[in-house]
Amino acid sequence: MTPPTRTKTTYTATARREGRWWLISVPQLDTAGQARTLAEATAVAQEVIGLYLDVDPETVSVTITVELPPVARDLWAAATTAETSARAIAATAAAKRRQAVQALRDLGISQADAARALSISPQRVSQLVHG
HEC secondary structure over 38-82: HHHHHHHHHHHHHHHHCCCHHHEEEEEEEECCHHHHHHHHHHHHH
pLDDT digits (tens, 9 = 90+) for 36-90: 999 999 999 999 999 999 999 999 999 999 999 999 999 999 999 999 999 999 9
* pLDDT given for residue 28 in this prediction: 94
* pLDDT given for residue 8 in this prediction: 72
Decide if 22 contacts 15 (C-beta within 8 A): yes
